[in-house]
Structure 1
Amino acid sequence: MLRASEIKLPLDNATSLHHEPEVIKAALLKKLGIPASDLISMAIFKRGVDARKSHAILFVYTLDVEVKNEDKILAKFKKDPHVKVAPDTSYHFVAKAPEASKAPRPVIVGFGPAGIFAALILAQSGFKPIVLERGKSVRERTKDTWALWRKNVLNPESNVQFGEGGAGTFSDGKLYSQIKDPKHYGRKVLHEFVKAGAPEEILYVSHPHIGTFRLVGMVEEMRQNIIELGGEIRFQSRVDDIEIENGQVQGVVLQNGERIATNHLVLAVGHSARDTFEMIHKRGIYIDAKPFSIGFRIEHPQSLIDHARFGPNAQHPVLGAADYKLVHHAKNGRSVYSFCMCPGGTVVAAASEEGRVVTNGMSQYSRNERNANAGIVVGIDPEKDYPGDPLAGMEFQRKWEARAFELGGKNYQAPGQLIGDFINGKPSTEFGTVQPSYTPGVHLTDLSTALPEYAITAIREALPAFAKQIKGFDLPDGVLTGVETRTSSPIRIKRDDETLQSINTKGLYPTGEGAGYAGGILSAAVDGIKIAEAVALNISNVRI
């Protein structure tokens, strides 16, 4: 099998998510310089979009192909990195459960992307994990989430952050990351998602996404698969304590007092499990404060972003809604960047604690809402901004979330300001052409006290700078909504590089965003797979 990349075709010829197979085939044959009779098979491995020239947008394909005389082709292209042997991207299990074992079952705390894939791999390997999720099942959780969005009622145990599927369930469903993945765990994740109901296109488009509504059904399907393989999943089962003896995990204690014995505890709690962070710190499990970012959500008309990115090709049905990725290094030494950009989406209420306001972004698969939104956030650092206690970053987040609650009117409305007014330092009093999408609602005010002064200064400088890359980004009527604080975990639960266990607590396997080892659905799922393999090898001590 060969992999041929950088095969470029103009957008004009595309009729769906990609060009017709015969068109792609003709370009491939031309690239390889072979007759059609020498081509045995062809499959799209990756399809990207080159939009650097908006008037001449290209689709860029990577293809996996079978040909006659493969050695001859490789020799011909030995100096061309775009024709080479295709790597094996299939998943290989590293261990299987012993047939007769009296050891306690592995326990997974949390059922977001990391917890789901840790449980799935362990179940597929025969280890029958027990999953403890503090929130509710995904459909019950959705009802609680809508209660905040529509009725200003927050359930601290069931919300955007807590419950089956994790925080990523109420997001754009992005399935790409910049992690190094030499073992191709990401392909395993994508294939499992397709098996659970995701569209097959996620296997090859360069920036795949699913959307919230599809994610709900997929999560349910994966849960059922785990159960059928012998796993057990318990909802509304918050872990309040971890039992440790002589540096070894012995079990967990639930909020109802029930004790579950285990020597292999996977901690996949997500970036907002603040009470869990406090508990593990009290238990002496080693954690560090880590950097994260804070800022606002910004909203523009999606049409503005489409025209800025795609020019005359804006609204082309094959291209869909345009996205962007921006970064600016401010004069005060702070970096400002776009985060979790949601084309054709909405800004959502993402609080998990009473008396605090948190924003996030979400899109459906169609990405057809009127506004584009993204976090515009400023990088902050523990040593400079919240030194001392490992949990100081968590308290830093709480401070600004409480401030947003106050500025928004103390009813879970979010404080907001028009972009033009924010840049010019004056309060906003009425909306212009851009209507905010955040529910329970946006209360216009002055955001200059909603974040630290250095963050406000950096963002004010960045917005006009971003307009040089995305024309109209500093649109005076665009809306800023505060605050975005949950960009990543404020802590890292340090683990050993080889065993992936906590550096001072044997049997504890921190994973995913909450542990500080991932950022987003795909990277968290990949980390969950790594942890599952480490647990499986430790239990069985047998390699396949």
Structure 2
Amino acid sequence: MTVKINNLVLGINEDSLATLKSKVANKLRIKESDFKSFKITKESIDARKKSEIKINYAVEIECDNEAKVIARVNSNDVKLGGDNYKADFEIGTKKLENRPIVVGMGPAGLFAGLLLAEKGYHPLIIERGEDVDSRTRTIDGFWNNRILNTESNVQFGEGGAGTFSDGKLTTRIKDHRCGYILEKLVLAGAPEEITYMGKPHIGTDILKNVVKNIREKIKEYGGEVRFSSKLEDISIRNGKISEIVVEGEHIPCDNLILATGHSARDTYEMLFSKGVSISPKPFAVGFRVEHLQHMIDENQYGKYATHPKLRAADYKLTYTSNKLSRSVYSFCMCPGGQVVASASEENTVVVNGMSNYKRDGINANSALVVSVDPSDFEGNTPLGGIAFQRRYEALAYEVGGRNYNAPVQLVKDFLNDKVSKNFGRVKPTYTPGTEFVDLKSCAPNFVVDAIKEALPVFDRKIPGYAGEDAILTGMETRTSAPVKINRNENYESVNVRGLYPTGEGAGYAGGIVSAAVDGLRVAEQIITEYSPK
């Protein structure tokens, strides 16, 4: 066991490690030489007072007589550290006829496949997109030459959609598997700081190698990975999955982990046609907003904006329109990043945000989105959200010039219903290119009205947010899955045994870590029920 010490506060100019060790020794009434180990477990910036920015730490140490040390200190900030997730549980007894199959190599599929491989289940993992290196070249071809591959793009391919975003690892869930996931990412090449930073991220540039290393580890343990292999069909016999079709090949299947991501629309349609229980789900749509990063830094950090201990600042903004009964909020904020072309279907424009590890780009960008409810969809089909997304993605393509240029508008002109003519200090980062339009021509009226209502409020929180140079780029539609594939307490489809809808694409996660956690849960369910073939 360890001793965990919380709420260790340092000034921004204090020597972190030396001062921390001294504070811990004084708090525990022991000597630094008594530490058998010393590990930072949390580091977060407290910038509520811009004139006096502080850094809050938690650490864990090992020493002799840990329980006695804690009792003697008698502080709520000092307690025994908990046991970490060991992925150590009893193997099931049911016999597998066929090895488990995982569909999709985003975080849910990767971690489900990794755990199954580690435990000797030799999973087959199929991914409709390419391996991450080939995928990168294909995406560059779209961004630079407007050549879209509908099977391998920002949405599809090794690592999932998160690989070409920011590699954010923040999560609201409290699950003992989170630490295990971060440790596996570090072993695969992620920076060690992700295990303790308050808002950890990896960055697209590093994450590409991380997912590749996890894939190689899966193969080392006996798993099989196939790229450019799309799930085309499934067979159901007596209420149970029996076979899948991949690129024309019929593969017997008893247990199918479905971790497709939130953009596998053709897969949703196929499952619905087979009678798999699916429900419509709320999501959000809107635009990407860009500012100069130094403006965000100065607003968040004041005189310390360029301090070497502070990285590019982020923000989180929320607003509720009582008039429209809608939430407006920033989402997937990318400090020092770029707006990226993220379409997965021809003749559509979809935008997302991306940052590299250093987050050293000139612009900050974030989604600025409005809540969408199934009551906004036409018809009663569970797939109504897909039709809703497609409609506005297609409109963005039309008004952008029918060449994958994205429609843009300066915030000041958006608020005044004017088509912009020139960019100011903020230049758009989206490639292939942009086209000035009135964004209300490609967005739902309630989205336009709600964002117009929210922008002045956000400008009061971050002065300059609605300034004359800020840019809006459309359309941001892939915030989360538009459906939920219904499952029971054992993570199986409610009406198809052996089918395990998993992760963000199934409607059960919202980010890299929560999706990976869900993948682990599903893999555990199979492991504790079945023995390896």
TM, length-normalised to structure 1: 0.95
Aligned with residue 288 of structure 1, among 276, 279, 286: 279
Contact in 2 for aligned 1:128/1:229 (Cα 8 Å): yes
Q: Distance in 2 between the 1:170 and 1:197 partners?
A: 17
| 1:171 and 2:161 correspond | no
Counterpart residue type for residue 90 of structure 1: Y
Contact in 2 for aligned 1:170/1:362 (Cα 8 Å): yes
Q: Distance in 1 between the 2:90 and 2:128 partners?
A: 29
Equivalent position of 1:11 in the other structure: 12
Counterpart residue type for residue 91 of structure 1: K
How far did residue 333 of structure 1 move? 1.4
Secondary structure (helix, strand or coil) at the match of 2:185 reads helix
Contact in 2 for aligned 1:95/1:540 (Cα 8 Å): no
Contact in 2 for aligned 1:361/1:374 (Cα 8 Å): yes
How far did residue 385 of structure 1 move? 4.4
Contact in 2 for aligned 1:241/1:252 (Cα 8 Å): yes
Q: Distance in 1 between the 2:484 and 2:256 partners?
A: 17
Equivalent position of 2:23 in the other structure: 27
Counterpart residue type for residue 55 of structure 2: F
Secondary structure (helix, strand or coil) at the match of 1:13 reads coil
Counterpart residue type for residue 289 of structure 2: I
Aligned with residue 438 of structure 1, among 425, 430, 443: 430
Contact in 2 for aligned 1:114/1:524 (Cα 8 Å): yes
After superposition, give the CA deviation of every residue in 1:442-466 in whole Å (9 maximum; x if it has no partner). 1111112221111101101111101
Q: Distance in 2 between the 1:101 and 1:225 partners?
A: 25
Contact in 2 for aligned 1:293/1:377 (Cα 8 Å): yes
Counterpart residue type for residue 318 of structure 1: K
Contact in 2 for aligned 1:409/1:443 (Cα 8 Å): yes
Contact in 2 for aligned 1:298/1:373 (Cα 8 Å): yes
How far did residue 226 of structure 1 move? 0.5
Comparing 327-336 with 432-441, greater Cα deviation is found at 327-336
Map residues 61-140 of structure 1 onto 2, 5 A cutoff.
61-78=57-74, 80-96=75-91, 103-140=97-134
Contact in 1 for aligned 2:43/2:56 (Cα 8 Å): yes
Structure 2 CA distance for partners of 1:97 and 1:144, relative to 1, 3 Å: farther
How far did residue 507 of structure 1 move? 0.2
Equivalent position of 1:467 in the other structure: 459
Q: Distance in 2 between the 1:2 and 1:209 partners?
A: 27
Contact in 2 for aligned 1:93/1:125 (Cα 8 Å): no
Counterpart residue type for residue 7 of structure 1: L
Contact in 2 for aligned 1:295/1:375 (Cα 8 Å): yes
After superposition, give the CA deviation of every residue in 1:496-523 in whole Å (9 maximum; x if it has no partner). 12x1101111000010111001111111
Structure 1 unmatched ranges of 5 or more = none
After superposition, give the CA deviation of every residue in 1:363-389 in whole Å (9 maximum; x if it has no partner). 000100000000000011113445611
Structure 2 CA distance for partners of 1:152 and 1:40, relative to 1, 3 Å: same
Equivalent position of 1:41 in the other structure: 37
Equivalent position of 1:2 in the other structure: 3
Equivalent position of 2:183 in the other structure: 191
How far did residue 95 of structure 1 move? 4.1
Q: Distance in 2 between the 1:522 and 1:70 partners?
A: 31
Counterpart residue type for residue 125 of structure 1: K
How far did residue 341 of structure 1 move? 0.2
Q: Distance in 1 between the 2:379 and 2:103 partners?
A: 29
Q: Distance in 2 between the 1:410 and 1:384 partners?
A: 26
After superposition, give the CA deviation of every residue in 1:202-226 in whole Å (9 maximum; x if it has no partner). 1111111111111111111111111
Structure 2 CA distance for partners of 1:101 and 1:230, relative to 1, 3 Å: farther
Equivalent position of 1:516 in the other structure: 507
After superposition, give the CA deviation of every residue in 1:34-61 in whole Å (9 maximum; x if it has no partner). 4445544321111111111111111111
Secondary structure (helix, strand or coil) at the match of 1:433 reads coil
Map residues 388-399 of structure 1 onto 2, 5 A cutoff.
388-399=380-391
Counterpart residue type for residue 428 of structure 2: P
Q: Distance in 2 between the 1:28 and 1:102 partners?
A: 52
Equivalent position of 1:526 in the other structure: 517
Task: Please list every run of at least 4 consecutive aligned residues from structure 1 whose deviation after the TM superposition is greater than 6 angstroms.
Answer: none
Q: Distance in 1 between the 2:432 and 2:288 partners?
A: 15
Contact in 2 for aligned 1:299/1:374 (Cα 8 Å): yes
Contact in 2 for aligned 1:426/1:446 (Cα 8 Å): yes
| 1:207 and 2:199 correspond | yes
Equivalent position of 1:52 in the other structure: 48
Secondary structure (helix, strand or coil) at the match of 1:3 reads strand
How far did residue 227 of structure 1 move? 0.6
Secondary structure (helix, strand or coil) at the match of 2:69 reads helix
Contact in 1 for aligned 2:108/2:259 (Cα 8 Å): yes
Structure 2 unmatched ranges of 5 or more = none
Structure 2 CA distance for partners of 1:234 and 1:38, relative to 1, 3 Å: closer
Counterpart residue type for residue 355 of structure 1: N
Map residues 313-392 of structure 1 onto 2, 5 A cutoff.
313-330=304-321, 331-386=323-378, 388-392=380-384
Counterpart residue type for residue 433 of structure 1: R
Contact in 2 for aligned 1:95/1:125 (Cα 8 Å): no
Counterpart residue type for residue 8 of structure 1: V
Q: Distance in 1 between the 2:33 and 2:404 partners?
A: 65
Contact in 2 for aligned 1:429/1:445 (Cα 8 Å): no
Number of aligned positions between the proteins: 531
Contact in 2 for aligned 1:44/1:64 (Cα 8 Å): yes
Equivalent position of 2:295 in the other structure: 304
TM, length-normalised to structure 2: 0.97
